[in-house]
Amino acid sequence: MKKQLWLSLALSAWTLLAYTQAAPDPGPTPWDAPLLAECLLDGYQNNTCVMPGPGFVPPPFCGSIENNGFLAFWAKYSSITFQFTSSGCFGTPMGTGIQAQIYAIECSGQGGISYLAAVSDCHDGGLGQPFTLTASNLGYGQVYYIMIDGWAGDCCDYQIDIIDFTPFPPSPPPAPPYITGPSPVTAGQMATYTVQFPMGSPIIENTCDNQFFYCPGIVDTCLVNLNQPTWTVPP
């Protein structure tokens, strides 16, 4: 009976811990931003003062930057509207609240240099009221970045909620077969197979361990197109 009681208490504590674990803090730069599914951004809570000072500053911005942080999300909607609500703010007496903007990585034609480009309006805060930002014309599977900053360095609790979105239209799947390669094969035979995923746009992975963004279409040994991987078996 005692063992059952201790087991029940342990499971209850584990369940409570599982439901009360904090969301990841924002990163000081876009490349340090935690990548969250949009469902995890809905209801996301944190405080602007988890950031000790100004991080990466994407120009232009509609206000000054004091304690900004970045969250990343993977777009599965063509447009999405976030509501930002701040509370418990303290800091500058001439106004209070948070400011925010949403960005994408854009690539120039000069050597694949990347930079942040705004995909939403900029909200300068200072009134302490809830506000919304809408990111439009998003690319399926692309990563976007929300920058949040305390107005004039305010320390504020804040919550992000998704209040509206527009789904992407369904894209036609590639013509079958999705997997191509020899068939049948015999024991010990070397064979190469290619998988074509039904994605609307290519997924590019940066396999370099550094801080820089790489642009699709730029020749670089660190770029891997994940939409059409190829395996040779046996290894």
Phi then psi dihedrals of residue 161, to 5 deg: -130, 140
Amino acid of residue 209: D
pLDDT for residue 191 = 80
Q: Can you say whether the dihedral through the CA atoms of 13, 19, 21, 22 is positive or negative?
A: negative
- Name the pairing type of β-strands 35-36 and 69-74: parallel
Percentage of the chain lying above the pLDDT 70 cut:
64
Confidence of residue 193 (pLDDT cuts 50, 70, 90): confident
Contacts of 215 (CB under 8 A, 6+ apart): 105, 107, 112, 114
At 157, is the pLDDT very low, low, confident or very high (cuts 50, 70, 90)?
very high
Tell which wins on pLDDT, 57 or 10: 57
Answer whether 94's CB lies under 8 Å from 152's CB.
Answer: yes
- pLDDT-derived band at 71 (thresholds 50, 70, 90) equals very high
CA angle 51, 21, 48 (to 5 degrees): 20
Taken in order 98, 101, 102, 104, the sign of the CA dihedral is negative
The residues near 216 (Cβ < 8 Å, ≥ 6 apart) are 107, 202, 204, 223
Write down the pLDDT at residue 150: 92
List the single range of 44-53, 127-136, 171-180, 202-211 with lowest mean pLDDT.
202-211
For 81, the 3-state DSSP assignment is strand
pLDDT band at 228 (very low <50, low <70, confident <90, very high): low
Q: Which of 150-154, 168-172, 227-231 has the lowest mean pLDDT?
A: 227-231
Average pLDDT of the chain?
A: 74
Length of the chain: 235
Whose structure tokens read 């000069």? 110
Which is nearest to 26 in space by CA: 63, 71, 62, 64? 71
How much helix, strand and coil, in percent to the nearest 5, is found in the chain?
Answer: 15, 35, 50
Q: Per-residue pLDDT averaged across 97-124, rounded?
A: 80
Concatenated DSSP letters for 189-230? Answer: --EEEEE----SS--EEE-S-SS----TTS--TTEEETTS-E
- 181 has pLDDT over 60: yes
- Asked whether the predicted pLDDT for residue 10 surpasses 50, the reply is no
User: For position 219, what pLDDT does the model report?
Assistant: 37
Structural domains of the chain in order of their starting residue, each with its CATH number = 23-167 (2.60.120.680), 170-235 (no CATH)
Give the three-state DSSP class for 153. Answer: helix
In the predicted model, is pLDDT for residue 164 greater than 90?
yes
190 or 157: which leads in pLDDT:
157
For residue 113, what are the contacts with CB-CB under 8 A and spacing of at least 6?
107
